[in-house]
Amino acid sequence: MIPSFNLNDAGVADDSVVRLWRAVLLLAISDLRSHDEAQRHHARLWLCDSYNRNVGSAFWICLHLGVDQDALRRAIRQSPSRPDPYLSRSPSTA
């Protein structure tokens, strides 16, 4: 079972909790445009990770915010953002 947001007595996620996790997701998306190569790389890895389903993972946040993580990953991969040197290196140069 995947843990959910803390729910109030009415069974609804507290708006402040939703805003917090939305801010986390938006910051990672913003980091994709960073001038810092390592920051872009880590944001891309975190956002595109579909294996980590722990609380606070991109998968978990997308699930609870109703964001289609598959569509998000496709958009990231198709984005004409700055090249990620960590992902574009050939195995012989890594």
Q: Render pLDDT for 1-19 as a digit per residue (tens, 0 to 9).
A: 555 555 555 455 678 888 8
Percent of the chain, pLDDT > 70? 70
pTM: 0.72
First vs last C-alpha separation in the chain: 38
78 compared with 35, residue with greater pLDDT: 35
Confidence of residue 79 (pLDDT cuts 50, 70, 90): confident
Judged on CB neighbours under 10 Å (0-12, 13-18, 19+), 28 is buried
Q: Assess contact for 25 and 58: CB atoms under 8 A.
A: yes
